[in-house]
Amino acid sequence: MADIVWYPGHMAKAKRLIKEALPNIDMVIELLDARAPISSTNPDFKNLFCGKPTLTLLTKCSLADPVETQKFQMRLRSTGREVIAIDCKTGNGVKNINAGIRTLMAEKLARDAARGIKRPIRAMVAGITNVGKSTLINTLSGTKKAVAQDRPGVTRHNSRISIPSLGLELTDTPGILWHKFDDQLVGIKLACLGSIKDDILDTLELSCRLIGLIRENYAECLVERFKIELSDEDTDFEVFEKIARKRGFIRSGGVIDEDRASSVILDEFRAGKIGRITLDRA
């Protein structure tokens, strides 16, 4: 697969706007996708947020392998980070977020209290495209003020949403990737998660790579979901063909409808229908 390079102009602008907003921000809530917490870590964030207290959330954890999520939480905590696994669809972990924020900001809150100051904590919600930033803000605020959709690159500007009941002021930000993926596999995993627009990708190749990744640790999920038999000798494309035939994605003349099969495999993975699968390893 050709190198995935997806850093449209608006992302450079988004990064600049984030930088400009930082002086008025107390802390950062960094969202990582629980299905690939390493690959969804933007390496630019360390410099960008230099020194701001950061709460790390592993999002969409109902779609990820719970054993791996647990391991990632422990691994990240061992580096001194505050980490909470959440899922905005099931509500899992969401009620722990405000307590996590308050633990992280305890000193500042105590200083403010000593001076008789009562003001909201200003947190910037940041992460790669499609990781669930706007959904998180809507979940915490109980509103639909932030536009959230199942495609990458929806949020294009910073916007502030006040949640007086929680004493929070959250800034939604556009998802940003980085210039070039040094490790091509990172780009492939992010594409599998739906963080890179499908229309710039070869979806047949991507779905075969996804099949390969799933086979590494979750081969039984493919067998169960698609009712196919797997052999170690099968290439990933042969598995793809088995799935397509089983689902009847055949055009006249017996030719496999590769576009249809690819998009169904990717969609079902992204919706968690193939199983609770984590692509990175802790």
Ligand X SMILES: Nc1nc2c(ncn2[C@@H]2O[C@H](COP(=O)(O)OP(=O)(O)OP(=O)(O)O)[C@@H](O)[C@H]2O)c(=O)[nH]1
Residue 132 is a binding residue for ligand X (CB under 6 A): yes
Indicate which of Mg ion, ligand X, none lies near residue 103 (CB less than 5 to 8 Å, by partner kind). none
Indicate which of Mg ion, ligand X, none lies near residue 87 (CB less than 5 to 8 Å, by partner kind). ligand X
Indicate which of ligand X, Mg ion, none lies near residue 40 (CB less than 5 to 8 Å, by partner kind). none
Q: Pick between residue 125 and residue 239 the one whose CB is nearest to ligand X.
A: 125
Cβ-contact 123, 171 below 8 angstroms: yes
List phi, psi (to 5°) of 187.
Answer: -60, -40
Q: How far apart are CA 40 and CA 236, in angstroms?
A: 24
Residue 149 is a binding residue for ligand X (CB under 6 A): yes
Q: How far is CA 75 from CA 40, 68, 69, 71, 209, in A?
A: 15, 10, 10, 6, 27
For residue 279, which of 190, 184, 198, 152 has the smallest C-alpha distance?
190
Residue 155 is a binding residue for Mg ion (CB under 5 A): yes
Give the single-character DSSP code of 40.
T
Residue 201, phi-psi category: left (phi > 0), alpha (psi -120 to 50), beta (remainder): beta
Indicate which of ligand X, Mg ion, none lies near residue 149 (CB less than 5 to 8 Å, by partner kind). ligand X
Given 37, 53, 152, 187, the residue binding ligand X (CB under 6 A): 152
- How many residues line the site for ligand X (CB under 6 A)? 24
Residue 163 is a binding residue for ligand X (CB under 6 A): no
Least distance from C-beta 112 to ligand X, angstroms? 30
Q: Which residue is nearest to ligand X (CB)?
A: 175
Strands 159-163 and 168-172: antiparallel
Q: Which stretch binds Mg ion (CB under 5 A): 73-81, 107-115, 126-134, 232-240?
A: 126-134
Burial of 38 (0-12, 13-18, 19+ CB in 10 A): middle
Given 4, 76, 105, 131, the residue binding ligand X (CB under 6 A): 131
User: Looking only at residues 54 through 113 of this chain, which bind ligand X when binding is defined by CB under 6 A?
Assistant: 59-60, 62-63, 87-89
Cβ-contact 152, 130 below 8 angstroms: yes
Q: Nearest-5° angle of CA 119, CA 121, CA 123?
A: 150
Residue with tokens 């109902």: 62
Least distance from C-beta 267 to ligand X, angstroms? 12
Least distance from C-beta 212 to ligand X, angstroms? 24
CB atoms within 10 A of CB 88: 22
Residue 11 is a binding residue for ligand X (CB under 6 A): no
Q: Pick between residue 154 and residue 282 the one whose CB is nearest to Mg ion.
A: 154
CB atoms within 10 A of CB 225: 17
Q: Pick between residue 144 and residue 246 the one whose CB is nearest to ligand X.
A: 144
Given 41, 69, 155, 278, the residue binding ligand X (CB under 6 A): 155
Residues that bind ligand X (CB under 6 A): 59-60, 62-63, 87-89, 127, 129-135, 148-150, 152-155, 174-175
